[in-house]
Structure 1
Amino acid sequence: MMILYFTVAVLLFVVVYFRLYLYLFPKNRLVILMYHQIAERSTEDLTVSVKNLEEQFKYISKKKYNPKFFNELHTPSKRSIIITFDDGYKNNEVYLPALLEKYKLKATIFIPTEFIQKGYKDNEMMTFEDIRNLDRDYFEIALHSHSHQNFRNVSADFIENDLQKNMQILDNENIQYSKVIAYPYGKYPKKNPEKAAVFSVLKQLGILYALRIGNKINYFPSQNPYELCRIDIKGKDTLIHFKLKLIFGRLKMF
């Protein structure tokens, strides 16, 4: 009998921990994927190869996931998925349009405007003209702060000014964007009063959603729109890893 109780407890833990119960509520199941760079070949964490990305997009399409922009989340649908890319790398503009069109998908790119103005390390970044010219049938632009500072290490006033600058530059460049932010490095204060102060700033600025990493499937609509989770897709992930992440999100227990 003890073995039975233990087995039931483990199953309940797995169902809750991985949010598998959301399979019973497909209209409330929201998967958000996080990517960064694309290259011809790669095994680096933040860079996915073209081959792997196409395999992943093909699988999403085959399994009839419903691609969404954040500005479309007001319309419920089964198997909703949002594909996101951070930072505005030039290779996104080179490789994504053809793949998104081929598999009838959409992508949201989170832009830290200082990276576009000044560059980021040795990476080639998109220009504001590149961003303006992205086909809005396949691309949504959103916020990633201006200076890409860790929100845990700066004040709420700094965050407010930085986000205002992020939005103002995009406005000045005539770039349409959704009021959604991906936290730089996926970080934000976890405890009050700092957490409440940051969320207050986001609300005052009209931010609809904010994204951490978390590596979990989201229940949507969420009671915590400033703590939506993304699933981190790494360059070394095999297609099997990718499929498991679409089901479980977090893979630390495998």
Structure 2
Amino acid sequence: MIPLLILLLLIFFCVFHFRLYLFAFPKNRLIILMYHQVKKETHENLTVSLKQLEQQFEYLNKKKYKTRFFSELNTLGKKSIILTFDDGYKNNFEYLPSLLEKYNLKATIFIPTKFIQEGYKNYEMMGFEDIRNLDKKHFEIALHSHAHENFRHLSTECIASDLKTNMLILDNEKIPYSKVLCYPYGKYPKKSPKKEEVFSAFESLGIDFAVRIGNKVNYFPTKNPYELCRIDIKGKDSLRKFKLKLIFGRLKLF
């Protein structure tokens, strides 16, 4: 009796923790993947290899996943997925266009405008001209703040001012973008009343969605548009692990 109860509790935990119940409602199942850099070869977790990324894109295409922009979420259907890339690295510009075209996929790039203006550490970043030249059939641009500072450490006024700068620069550079925010470092205020204040500021700025990490599949439409989860795809992930992440998100057992 006790082993059966334990088994039932384990099944219950898995179904709800990993949101497996969404398989019964495929049109409400939204997967958002998180990437950063792409290089020919890598041993870094925040960078995927070109071979690895192509294997993943080929798998998504073969299994008929439908990539969406955030601006297209009113057309959500079965096997909907959003591919996101953070920060605006030059290698995204070099490698993504041909791969997205080859496998008929779309991606959203979150741009922190200060990184484009001033650079970021020793990394080569895209320029505004590069961003303007991305094919709008395959690329959507969205917000990643201006200065890329941890929102948990900023006042609501500073957060609002930073986002206004992020949008103003993109406007001045004549770069169309969706009003979707990727939190710098995935961090945002989680305690009241600060959380509600910040979310209210987002509404005033016309921001539609914001993404954190969370490593879970989303139920969509959501009651929490500023807390959408992304699944972190790492450079050391095998193709098998990638496939499992599409189902479970992060599962520490593999």
C-alpha separation in 2, matches of 1:250 and 1:185 = 17
Q: What amino acid sits opposite 2:73 in the alignment?
A: L
C-alpha separation in 2, matches of 1:43 and 1:228 = 28
- Alpha-carbon distance, 1:76 to partner: 2.4
Q: TM-score, normalised by structure 2?
A: 0.99
C-alpha separation in 1, matches of 2:214 and 2:148 = 19
Q: TM-score, normalised by structure 1?
A: 0.99
Within 5 Å, give how 1:4-83 maps onto structure 2.
4-83=4-83
Q: Tell me the SS of whatever aligns to 1:34.
A: strand
Within 5 Å, give how 1:174-253 maps onto structure 2.
174-253=174-253
- Alpha-carbon distance, 1:75 to partner: 1.3
In the alignment of these two chains, the number of paired residues is: 254
Match of 2:86 in 1: 86
Q: Structure 1 stretches (4+) deviating beyond 2 angstroms?
A: none
Match of 2:158 in 1: 158
Q: What amino acid sits opposite 2:134 in the alignment?
A: L
Q: What amino acid sits opposite 1:165 in the alignment?
A: T
C-alpha separation in 1, matches of 2:162 and 2:34 = 23
Identical columns (%): 67
Within 5 Å, give how 1:98-113 maps onto structure 2.
98-113=98-113
CA deviations over 1:96-134 (Å, ceiling 9, x no partner): 000000000000000000000000000010000000010
C-alpha separation in 1, matches of 2:38 and 2:243 = 19
- Alpha-carbon distance, 1:250 to partner: 1.3
C-alpha separation in 2, matches of 1:206 and 1:35 = 25
Q: What amino acid sits opposite 2:111 in the alignment?
A: I
Q: 4-13 or 29-38: which moved more?
A: 4-13
Within 5 Å, give how 1:120-159 maps onto structure 2.
120-159=120-159
C-alpha separation in 2, matches of 1:3 and 1:48 = 42
C-alpha separation in 1, matches of 2:63 and 2:158 = 43
C-alpha separation in 2, matches of 1:48 and 1:159 = 30
C-alpha separation in 1, matches of 2:35 and 2:41 = 15
Q: Tell me the SS of whatever aligns to 1:231.
A: strand
C-alpha separation in 1, matches of 2:103 and 2:145 = 30
- Alpha-carbon distance, 1:253 to partner: 3.9
C-alpha separation in 2, matches of 1:15 and 1:238 = 24
Structure 1: stretches of 5+ with no match in the other structure: none
CA deviations over 1:169-218 (Å, ceiling 9, x no partner): 00000000000000000000110111111101111100000000000000
- Alpha-carbon distance, 1:62 to partner: 0.8
- Alpha-carbon distance, 1:228 to partner: 0.1
C-alpha separation in 1, matches of 2:63 and 2:218 = 18
- Alpha-carbon distance, 1:140 to partner: 0.1
- Alpha-carbon distance, 1:157 to partner: 0.3
> Over aligned residues, Cα RMSD in angstroms?
0.7
Q: Tell me the SS of whatever aligns to 1:152.
A: helix
C-alpha separation in 2, matches of 1:182 and 1:44 = 21
